[in-house]
Amino acid sequence: MLSPAPVKKRTPAAKPTKPRRNPKAPTKRPAPKTSRTKHSVPRDASFKTMTHKGPFGTRSYKIYRPAAAHSAPTALPLLVMLHGCGQTPDDFARGTGMNALAEEFGFLVIYPGQ
């Protein structure tokens, strides 16, 4: 005849404890706020706030014109950057670094506002 398997008694689970912090470990610093970072625009380049008025309303936007735009023999390509709802055109421009690429490769960048 088979005997039943022994029943293990359950013990209450121990409460989790917080891991101890190593006092010698470096403390984490918060990420920099890109909207507070100051970036300069190269000489002869511009980053201006403009407004477009049309039959469906008014829309503000920022446009970056690289220094090469002044001496370009033809019109420069245009890139429109669409940002998320929680961002501003300035924050988006700093976060993506697209103005630096526009300076390097010679194109205009527009960041529509909301």
The rounded distance, in Å, linking the Cα atoms of 35 and 66 is 21
Q: Which two tokens stand for residue 21?
A: 């912090």
**Is pTM beyond 0.75 here?**
no
Helix (H/G/I), strand (E/B), else coil: 103: helix
Helix%, strand%, coil% for the chain, nearest 5: 20, 25, 55
pLDDT tens figures, 21-65:
666 665 655 544 444 445 567 788 999 999 999 999 999 999 999
Average pLDDT rounded to a whole number, residues 62-79: 91
